[in-house]
Chain A
Amino acid sequence: MPSLRSIRGRIKSVKNTRQITKAMEMVASAKMRKAQARVRDTRPYAEKIKELMIRLAAIESHRPNPFFQVRPVATVGIILVSTDRGLCGPINSNVFKMVNRFMADRPGVKFEFVVIGKKGQDFVRRSGLKAVGSISGVKDRGQIEEILPATQVAIEEFSDGRWDEAWIFYTEFVSTLSQKPRSEQLLPILPEMSENGAKKPSPFLGEYLYEPDTADILDVLIPRYFETLVFQRVMENFASEYSARMMAMRNATSNAKEVIYQMTLIYNKLRQAAITREISEIASGADAVQQG
């Protein structure tokens, strides 16, 4: 039988926990609203530049460009987007599971990682995988410059021929209640690229006029495409993180409420039993005195 005092102590500690989870819920929900707006603002550019690149990849004369060329795959580079902090539901572990499955499906291929976020760094270290670059502490309202160190490493690995494909794994923001792990191939850029289906681009298979010329435009567009997509996916990840954290903390808060309710019930029952016992002891004592 637990003592009254120990139950009182436990109720108090659960109440403290509830206060913390409640506060975290509110912080996450404020950040979530901003991050969701940011996802809405950054999606169109990323979508349009991806569609444009896919259109360009379909043009025969661009084929010699190494960023449009399919090579035999010996090494796959993976940009892994994760959160810096925990307590955000299953979103990190879902992405890691997807990475593991992806690797299991490609036996005989080497994998190298560029990691964004502390949780991903832990995962790569724990699993004994090879990271060629990693950044953490990216700000949710940050500028694109913050992720450039990661994208530059990745582009270099690809253009120097050490990576034959570049993929990004992240958590897509679907809604406050739903976030999906995603894998997306970024390089080489292929006309039929649709892994986890971006919309099919409007078909345009003719040639363009270029100012100044094709090479200059591709030199500008390709890094821009790569940076933008990584940046946008990082923003998706933030919106997912805050949404998942808000939901996780909301659940924790309501669980704490439930626990407090149950324990208060037990506490009151015990208290009542103790009082009843005391009264009956006093009463029987008084009886004994009167009869004697």
Chain B
Amino acid sequence: MAFMLSLLTQERVLVTEEVDFVKAKGVDGEFGVLTGHTPFITLLDPGELVVRKGETLYSYYVSGGVAEVLPKSMIVLANTVERAEEIDMQLAQTARKNAEEALSKPISELERRTYLLELKRENVRLSIAARRHSTRHPGQLSEE
């Protein structure tokens, strides 16, 4: 049974179609959505959003935002979204290296937190991109 997913940012529309399953990262942990889910609203953490439609899986990097889940629809109002294939691995690697270098130096608490966040973010983006590039079939993902 499918439900309607709208994955949007302020500047573009990524998905508006019927899908079968969505996995996303809320502030209180990952969650999966199937048709008939209890209505809920959550803030999103930077992380991967996986969409399954039929046998195909699509992967996105979401930098944060809000998700509203209703029994027959789900709206993700994201701050920014990258499709897995849009992630520039080199750019992400450079950014990660920069963050690591910055963290190895003595810096203020605020800066340290900023860079830690940056590091976390780049790690997520890289793992999404890496999964896409590996030969492992992404369909092994379970519907928890």
- By a beta-carbon cutoff of 8 Å, the part of chain A in contact with chain B is 38, 41-42, 44-46, 48-49, 52, 144, 202, 204, 206-212, 216-217, 220-221, 224, 228, 231-232
Q: Could you say which residues of chain B place their CB within 8 Å of the CB of A220?
A: 43, 66
- Is B143 located at the chain interface by the 8 A CB criterion? no
Known: A45-B77, A208-B39, A210-B41. A231 touches B10 (CB 8 A): yes
Q: Which residues of the partner chain B approach A41 to less than 8 Å between Cβ atoms?
A: 11-13
B89 beta carbon closer than 8 Å to chain A: no
Q: Are B10 and A216 touching (Cβ within 8 A)?
A: no
Within 1-60 of B, Cβ neighbours of A (below 8 Å) are at 6, 8-13, 16, 26-28, 38-43
Q: Given the known A-B contacts A204-B70, A220-B66, A224-B77, are A211 and B10 also in contact in the complex, defined by CB atoms under 8 Å?
A: no
Interface of A is mostly: helix
A217 to B44, CA, bound (A): 10
- Find chain B residues with CB under 8 A from A45 CB: 8-11, 13, 77
Choose one: A38, A46, A208, A212; the contact of B43 (CB below 8 Å): A212
The complex places the Cα of A292 from the Cα of B72 at a distance, in Å, of 110
Task: Decide if A48 touches B77 in the complex (CB within 8 Å).
Answer: yes
Closest CB of chain A to B90's CB: distance in Å?
Answer: 24
Q: Which residues of B contact A202 (CB under 8 A)?
A: 73
Residue of B12, B26, B39, B70 near A211 (CB, 8 A) is B26
A156 to B124, CA, bound (A): 36
User: What's the nearest-Cβ distance from chain A to residue B102, in Å?
Assistant: 24
Q: Separation in Å of the A95 CB from the closest CB of chain B?
A: 23
**Which of B11, B16, B26, B41 is A208 in contact with, Cβ under 8 Å?**
B41
Interface size (B, Cβ < 8 Å)? 23
CB-CB under 8 A from B77, the residues of chain A are 45, 48-49, 52, 224
Are the CB atoms of A206 and B39 closer together than 8 Å?
yes
| Binary per-residue interface labels of chain B (57-90) against chain A in the complex, 1 for a CB within 8 Å, 0 otherwise | 0000000001010100101010000000000000
* CB-defined contacts of B12 to chain A, threshold 8 Å: 41
**Residues of chain A contacted by B9 (CB below 8 angstroms):** 45
Q: Are B43 and A216 in contact (CB under 8 A)?
A: yes
Most buried by A among B10, B43, B68, B77: B10
Contact call A204/B39, Cβ cutoff below 8 A: yes
In the docked arrangement, what's the CA distance between A210 and B28, Å? 10
Q: 16 additional contacts, CB 8 Å, given A209-B40, A217-B42?
A: A41-B13, A45-B9, A144-B11, A206-B39, A208-B39, A208-B41, A210-B41, A211-B26, A211-B27, A211-B41, A216-B43, A217-B66, A224-B66, A224-B77, A228-B10, A231-B10
